[in-house]
Structure 1
Amino acid sequence: MRSFIYNIRYFFERHGFYVSSRLADKLGMRAKSVRLFFIYASFFTVGIGFVFYLILAFWLKLKDLVYTKRTSVFDL
């Protein structure tokens, strides 16, 4: 079982980690620039999702505060 995991790891190290360098060669750029683009893009997409979550949470909380049903006049 352990050698199977090492074989998978070796396969991905051998074939999977050349994505940015092959893409950079096709685009005529440096591989470092392509890697930085992917890093910044991943931070941006995670950040957008988190901000969207905070906006929805604030909106639902505000909606609950505004539309609370009061049972009587004395609940004000």
Structure 2
Amino acid sequence: MINKILIFFERYSFGVCTYLGDKFEISQSKIRLFFIYTSFLAVGFPLAFYFFAAIVLDIRTFIKRKKVQYWDI
């Protein structure tokens, strides 16, 4: 059961921790632990930030993909 949950989150994660890790040159595991620990302390506020960042990154990659397609024509 735990393995299925881990596989689900690894496969369908939004890439927020990866993006932040690459941007600030910090390991992804430290950023994930930061989100987990602060979500317990701040009653879910970091989860709201995480989902907001996921939406922004998804829109950003969608726009980049569309821009490349228009210039390739």
Q: TM-score range by the shorter chain?
A: 0.3 to 0.5
TM-score, length basis structure 1: 0.46
TM-score, length basis structure 2: 0.48
RCO comparison, higher one (Cα < 8 Å, 6+): 2
